[in-house]
Amino acid sequence: MFRFQYSIVTRAQRGPAWEIFTDFTKWNSFAKIYGKISWRQGLPWHPSSRMELEILQPIHAVIDHIITSCAPARRVGWIDTTMGAVLAQWVMFEDDSSGGTRVHTWGDLLHSAGNLAGNSPEELITRFTRVWYENYRTYCDLIAAGAETANFSPLAFPENA
């Protein structure tokens, strides 16, 4: 089992940070790896709902994303399965003393299928998490400052991560 964790603090308050986090149409702004994303079953972000995520790089894969628990703007947990791998992940949204939000994620890779595109799953998860959450923070900070996000340019993944 491999455990990862990562935290960021954004100037955005919990409500807007949650809204940005749960808007999957913005996810390619945080890491340009996604193809088609859709809810397959249940109401979005409700326990037992299922999302299907197409990943285009570093390899093509489809992830079955099952929500296990959700308290909007507070926490969400899910289980991802793809290609023989199983990942359980949680994300917490907490008020920060700065007036913004601390977003903390952690997860356990419970089973892995081996190397992918020359990288271990642990390396890919660690880099992806850092890039996604750093870009998410930057995007949230721009929204909190009232800035225009149309020209937002995320960090690259995985080549420059």
Q: What is the pLDDT of residue 58?
A: 83
Q: How far, in Å, CA of 116 to CA of 109, rounded?
A: 14
Per residue in 45-100, pLDDT (tens digit) is 999 999 999 999 888 999 999 999 999 999 999 999 988 889 999 999 999 999 99
Full-model pTM: 0.89
116 near 58, Cβ under 8 Å? yes
Domain boundaries, the chain: 2-144
Q: Taking residues 144-153, what's their average pLDDT?
A: 71
The CATH H-level (homologous superfamily) assignment of domain 2-144 is START domain (3.30.530.20)
Q: What is the pLDDT confidence band of residue 160, given thresholds at 50, 70 and 90? A: very low
